[in-house]
Amino acid sequence: MLFQEEKETPRKSTRASLVASSLLKSILRGELAPGSKLNIDYLREVYQVSLSPMREAISRLVSTGLVEFEDQRGYRVAPVSLQLLAEVTRLRSDLESLALRYAIERADLEWESSVLGALHRLNRTERDVSSPEAMEVWESAHWSFHKTLIEGCGMEMLVEFCQNLQNQSDRYRRIFLKKPAGSADIQDEHNAIANAAVDRNADLASKLLRAHIERTGNDLARQISGELPED
C-alpha cells in the first residue's frame, strides 16, 4: 500500500459501552441523584436498550466507585458526604503527588514535552465562568494537564485509580459548586507545578501539586458544608 492508512482502530462501540459512558456523564452531572436506586427498567426505557447491555453498562461503573451493587438489591448511585469528599481529596493529594514523583524520577524528553504542551493548551483555554460550555472545555484541559503529569509514572493501575478519584471529585464539583470559585492565581499554580516538574525538582513539584489539590478540595468542602449534613 502506498501510504499506510493510519487507522486509529476506531473500534465500533457496543451499546453497552455507549450507554455506560452516557450513564457515567449523567452520574457526574448529578442527573442521577447520589444514593438513588438505578431502576433498570426505567433506564432501559431512557437509553432504549435491552436488559443485557443495560446491566452490563451499569455493572461497569461499579469499578469507578460511582455505582454500588448488592446482590438481589440491584445497583445504586454512590452516596455523597463531606467525609467521603475529604477522603477523596486526601487520596487525590497523596496519589497524584506520588505518581508525579515517579514521573519525575523516570522523566524523559517525551514526557516533559507533553507536560508543557498540556500546560500551554490549558493556559490558552479561556476560563469563562459565565459559560458552562467554555467551562467544560476548560475542565477537560485541566484534567488533561493533571493526567499528563501523572501518566509519566508509567503505572497504569495508579493512573486509573487517580482517574476514579478525579471522577468522584468532579461529581462533587458539578453537583454542589454552582458558582465556580476560581482564584486568579490558578494559572500560576499550574505553571509552577509544570516548571518544577520539568526541572526534576520532585519535592517542590510534589508539594505544589498537593497544595493545589487540597486547596481545590477544601474550597469545595467549604462551599458544600452549608448544604450537606456533616455526615
Shortest Å distance, C-beta 37 to DNA: 6
Q: Hey, what long-range contacts does 50-57 have (CB within 8 A, 24 or more apart)?
A: 52/16, 53/14, 53/15, 53/16, 53/19, 54/16, 54/19, 56/16, 56/20, 57/15, 57/16, 57/17, 57/19, 57/20, 57/23
60 binds, among DNA, a copy of itself, none (CB under 5 to 8 A by kind): a copy of itself
| Amino acid at site 112 | E
89 vs 148, beta carbon nearer a copy of itself: 89
Shortest Å distance, C-beta 163 to a copy of itself: 12
Kindly identify the residues of this chain, within the stretch 35-74, that bind DNA according to CB under 7 A. Answer: 37-41, 49-53, 55-56, 71-74
> Of 6, 41, 71, 133, which one interacts with a copy of itself (CB under 8 A)?
71
User: Cell digits for 8?
Assistant: 486509529
190 binds, among a copy of itself, DNA, none (CB under 5 to 8 A by kind): none
Q: Are 165 and 92 in contact (CB under 8 A)?
A: yes
Q: Are 109 and 121 in contact (CB under 8 A)?
A: no
CA-nearest of 102, 97, 104 to 207 is 97
- Of 13-21, 26-34, 196-204, 217-225, which part binds a copy of itself (CB under 8 A)? 13-21
22 vs 83, beta carbon nearer DNA: 22
Query: If binding is defined by CB under 7 A, does position 22 make contact with DNA?
Result: no
